[in-house]
Structure 1
């Protein structure tokens, strides 16, 4: 019988085989590459045989052995069943914990201002937030449900659209009242533009270049630029009067409604090709706390 000590090693094996890399597996599991390598070597010692063909080219490239490839489907199914078993144990707990993963910006600008209403409706459920800019493996990290920004395609997960976004420039009232003339979108080319790099590398992520094209503006910005890899910090920089930010309506709505930010050129309509989705493992859809949080998220989205 497989010892419990090898369960972490099996997770390390599965992630390493999927990524073909100890380093990438370590990033997903939030441990060091050395720790992943040691777990895999422990498993190999117990089995008495290698589980990967190591590349001799100097560049890490793990190739699963034939036996590993044959076993991976069963390993993944077994890990999923263990996760489901833990979820069912949690269902019976009188004081349950619901672990939710969201980006730091989504937590700050949308979720946290609204979460009190969920606490009032479900006082016995403790919500634990896992905030990260990187997508989290829900099964590997014991996460129940999350909100992700993207095209809605995450293999192995149920994804339900929560919020769509409109994209528009925003600045502080103080910036707008300064010695500047913003009569037409092309005037932005001379301004300090604040760029959101929170999803840098995603070709579908809305950028200043895309918005300016939609507004019929040609040419490149001539002013200074500020680049920030957190969407909430992008808006805060605009609130502080540091320039004009490209606002995402889900994040900017409360700041615009309160007057901290002013929406510019509302006649230009530009919808993001990305949206916010509720994601969870389909085998956990029957967990009451998960269902309650999902329904609450959808209700909040409808009433925004």
Structure 2
């Protein structure tokens, strides 16, 4: 009987454990940080309605209004701001611990890089062998998941991102500017259909890269024509692709004319797999490629080594233009 009383007493004095709605907390932090339900949905890889539902669940769970929803933006209340800051701090600490554990397990010689498939296949992969030769003790893994990386969960050590360079709270450096120029396979120039002026695009297939807007002006065919002050004719056919590397490959195989983004087509132009059909100057893009990582990450030798190497590669590309 005495033991039973002791157990019951202990049950009453033990603090009640609270089961936190972690998915809702993460979604709410992303909405506040990105100031957008849609951008938070893109980062988390879920629908916008799912993010909205997570926020409602969190507000019900806390009994507090956490967001003031507006037509163009949703701003946190004082309570919401306190909570989002606490979540961000907690995720940051988790990320630091994960990085530390990963470093200990492999003597700090592993490196995970996140970038889009087009950049990985057409620019990074052909050059990565040189990093391996210079740093054989560093093991590099590449993730081509198109969703924005969440450094707080230890998904990656560094990222090469494409867009306007707006990544608050992170170390951000422009790696490569971008310029746009039409490209095609050499065989297309020798076909019976003319391809000497932009108006000749009416005889050919336009290869379209379906980019997601991330601010600024999308580097698409309409942007290119507008910047040159020319009219874009109605093409004979349009083919759309969801990945930049597929656009480049389709152009190499002679399936049409692509709007080349120089970082992704420079190697194919150099070795003759692609050519520029028009004698027109490249059009500068609003977008660029950016080196992104947590502020303290460059203190890790493998990350510093990769940073210095990839910027040296980018500088070499700029000199060869």
TM-score band (shorter)?
A: 0.7 to 0.9
**Of 230, 235, 240, which aligns to 1:227?**
240
Q: TM-score, normalised by structure 1?
A: 0.81
**Of 106, 112, 120, which aligns to 2:119?**
106
**Of 295, 299, 303, which aligns to 2:312?**
299
Shift of 1:38: 8.5
**Of 17, 29, 43, which aligns to 1:28?**
43
Q: Does the C-alpha gap of structure 1 residues 40 and 296 become closer, same or farther in structure 2, counting only changes over 3 Å? A: farther
- 1:123 is the counterpart of 2:136: yes
- 1:275 is the counterpart of 2:288: yes
CA contact (8 A) 1:88 1:287 kept: no
**Of 94, 104, 115, which aligns to 2:107?**
94
61-70 vs 257-266, which moves further: 61-70
Distance 1:171 1:238 in 2: 5
Distance 1:256 1:275 in 2: 20
Shift of 1:96: 3.1
Shift of 1:5: 7.5
1:132-187 superposed Cα distances (whole Å, 9 cap, x missing partner): 33322222353211111112221111111111122111111111111022232322
Q: Does the C-alpha gap of structure 1 residues 156 and 85 become closer, same or farther in structure 2, counting only changes over 3 Å? A: same
Q: Does the C-alpha gap of structure 1 residues 63 and 270 become closer, same or farther in structure 2, counting only changes over 3 Å? A: closer
Q: Does the C-alpha gap of structure 1 residues 199 and 302 become closer, same or farther in structure 2, counting only changes over 3 Å? A: same
Q: Which runs of 5+ in 2 are unaligned?
A: 1-14
Report the structure number with the largest CA radius of gyration. Answer: 2
CA contact (8 A) 1:51 1:64 kept: no
Distance 1:3 1:120 in 2: 52
Partner of 2:217: 204
1:107-147 superposed Cα distances (whole Å, 9 cap, x missing partner): 11011111112222222322222213332222235321111
Distance 2:81 2:129 in 1: 47
CA contact (8 A) 1:51 1:65 kept: no
Q: Does the C-alpha gap of structure 1 residues 118 and 52 become closer, same or farther in structure 2, counting only changes over 3 Å? A: farther
Distance 2:289 2:168 in 1: 16
Shift of 1:3: 7.4
Q: Which runs of 5+ in 1 are unaligned?
A: 56-60
Q: TM-score, normalised by structure 2?
A: 0.77
Distance 2:86 2:221 in 1: 46
**Of 84, 92, 99, which aligns to 1:80?**
92
Q: Does the C-alpha gap of structure 1 residues 40 and 79 become closer, same or farther in structure 2, counting only changes over 3 Å? A: farther
**Of 135, 138, 143, which aligns to 2:148?**
135
Distance 2:301 2:221 in 1: 42
CA contact (8 A) 1:52 1:63 kept: no
RMSD after superposition? 3.6
